[in-house]
Structure 1
Amino acid sequence: MELTVGELARRSGLTVRTLHHYDAIGLLVPSLRSAAGYRLYDRANIERLHRIQALRQLGLSLADIGTALSGPQAPLTEVIERQMAQLDHEITKATRLRQQLGLLHAQLASGQSPDLADWLDTLELMTMFENYFSTEEIKQLPLLHDAATRAEWSAMVALVQAAMERGATPGAPEAQVLALRWMRTLYRDTGGNPDFLVRLNRMHDNEPGSWDALGVSAPMRRFIEEAFVEGRLAIYQRYLKPDEFAFMREHYGATFAAWPPLLAALRKAMVEGVAPDDPRALELGRQWSALFRAYAGDDPATHERIRQAHANEPDLTDSSWSDEALTAYVRTILAALQATPRTH
């Protein structure tokens, strides 16, 4: 198929002036000329125009598009897939905005005076969450949809802030109780899914304003994490010998951030039905064992005392993002790991 500049303009929704400009800057040069000297665009030109428009929709300048198209080019199917993904993202954002506007309209129509600041904070949070969670996953996060949940978090944040302002240390019983409450609430609001926790942590690390709507600062997050660690150490101390506990105290805190990603990977393997003796599962088992031994040491007697603590102390196992099913799966992996011959 060969099209004149006017025909291509009508079919593409662009203006003739735009196509002439693309020709002048060498971005889209007609491949053919008619006997009368008119520009004619063939199939290859139309495909290139699609790439140009796709890249324009992704925000690239004409100069950047020219550079991008001068090198090896991705298949057109891949370009279209990127366009579709971008459109899906924009549709999701527009849908959420439409829902929020509907709620605002309903409040105004009923004579209520909505809290615009809270509404805007929620909308800002949603925008950030969309970069880390799918549409379906966002529906599972009550912080974005449930006013009672937001109020609960705000009250808890206020208590933690007050404790910090009073000079409470992470080792204080008050701080440990608040940290345990915080983690239990976070566990509830992530549905016990460690992958959600990992992505929330990544969002909070990458988006400085992600917790601003609730008044959570980076120092507050550190305070909670340190208090949570101190609370768990206080429990372990009741079961361990002094030298065992001294070793754990020195190393336990350093492993805190490493557990959620490992739990998320193990949960994914379990859901996908990866067999315990599969090389992927065995590698996760090795990581689990290495992380555990990093603070528990190598003495089997110490390990048994730690297991006893977990069996007797609900505060060590509740809201740990490792439910009974995942714990059982890990046990089968560790058993398979022990039965696997060592290679040198």
Structure 2
Amino acid sequence: MPLTVGELARRCGLTVRTLHHYDAIGLLKPSLRSDAGYRLYDRTNVERLHRIQALRQFGLPLADIGTVLSGPEQPLGELIDRQIAQLDRELDRAARLRSRLVALGGQLAAGQSPDLAEWLDTLELMTMYEKYFSPEELQSLPLHNDPDVLAHWNALIGEVQAAMDRGVTPEAPYAHALALQWMEAVQRGTGNNPGFITRLKAMQDNEPGIRERNGITPALERFIERALVDARLVIFERYLGPSDMERMRANYGAHMYDWPPLIAEVRGAINAGVPPTDPHAQRLARRWMELFRAYAGDDPATHARIREAYVNEPDLRSGSSVDPAMLAYVRSAIEAMG
């Protein structure tokens, strides 16, 4: 039986205004109209609304949801499985917090003075994250809500610090391996979201308490940066001659932290369906080429060899969210500029 907008809003817990907004932006248009012209929603509309609300819970903005739903349709069963997995993670977090509170309450009931340090540290970390991420974003940030990811980070940080303590240099093959593992951990910890990398870096720089707790000291951070640059230069040596490598050694890595926000913007344009011929896509492509030429120079033959390296060597892209499809998108935008 078709539902009016008021009935649908009441049954699903949304407001009529929200459903009208979904209709206005083309996200959820009623399939039917009554004789009097009222919106009527059928079973197909309800299924689409379920998809919209599920994607919102995963942290996607409405513009990206529209893009996702306009593409190949994910089976509803798979979407529900993702929702169940997310709820399982939330239940796990709630259970761990409940366990802490039960222990705290038990101590208080026994007249003991509880040690609040660990609990307060946890609350402080949560507050720090909330300065930089919305609640919806935190749900999709594995580094914040996945205990396995956090445990892997802690172990890797300890391994890097131990290597530094033993006198391992950033140029050593072992340091290269650690740096590439680090970038894989970045990719996993951010859910492969390049926009999160910039905010995590800002949080790391602006919140002293973060460094005190995670052990990523400025010295450790510099070690990883140098090891990563050197590891990737070793890869580039397979594709470039001596003169190109001399320029690469002088310039590669100089704009390391300028790339993530640009990559995030390009990913956003792709997800929003912005064509490479659009002026916005071409502005992004120009910025991309400025950063690229800063270390690659202006020789088209060198550019081709570097592009070949990026396509063939995943370690050059790890942790960045750059994939062959993104490189092709940027290249198409450049070609469209003539």
TM-score, length-normalised on structure 1? 0.64
One-letter code aligned to 1:149: V
Q: Which runs of 5+ in 2 are unaligned?
A: 1-92, 108-113
Match of 2:98 among 97, 102, 110: 102
Alignment partner, residue 308 of structure 1: 308
- Aligned-pair identity in percent equals 52
Mapped contact 1:233–1:249 kept (Cα < 8 A): yes
Alignment partner, residue 164 of structure 1: 164
One-letter code aligned to 2:154: S
Mapped contact 1:132–1:203 kept (Cα < 8 A): yes
- The within-5 A match list for 1:292-331 is 292-331=292-331
Post-superposition CA distance 1:1-25 (Å, at most 9, x none): xxxxxxxxxxxxxxxxxxxxxxxxx
Mapped contact 1:274–1:281 kept (Cα < 8 A): yes
Mapped contact 1:171–1:230 kept (Cα < 8 A): yes
Structure ID, larger Rg: 1
Post-superposition CA distance 1:125-168 (Å, at most 9, x none): 21101011000111122233333222211111111111111222
One-letter code aligned to 2:222: R
One-letter code aligned to 2:100: L
How big is the shift at 1:200? 0.7
Post-superposition CA distance 1:168-189 (Å, at most 9, x none): 2211111111111011011111
324 and 237 in structure 1: CA distance in 2 versus 1, 3 angstrom threshold: closer
- Inter-partner Cα distance in structure 1 for 2:128 and 2:104: 26
How big is the shift at 1:119? 4.0
One-letter code aligned to 1:134: S
325 and 307 in structure 1: CA distance in 2 versus 1, 3 angstrom threshold: closer
Q: Aligned with 1:275: secondary structure?
A: coil
How big is the shift at 1:105? 2.7
Mapped contact 1:125–1:144 kept (Cα < 8 A): no
Number of aligned pairs?
240
Alignment partner, residue 128 of structure 1: 128
Q: Which runs of 5+ in 1 are unaligned?
A: 1-96, 340-344
Alignment partner, residue 140 of structure 1: 140
Q: Aligned with 1:254: secondary structure?
A: coil
Alignment partner, residue 265 of structure 2: 265
Greater RCO, CA 8 A, separation 6+: 2
- Inter-partner Cα distance in structure 1 for 2:115 and 2:95: 16
Alignment partner, residue 288 of structure 1: 288
Alignment partner, residue 180 of structure 1: 180
237 and 324 in structure 1: CA distance in 2 versus 1, 3 angstrom threshold: closer
One-letter code aligned to 1:102: R
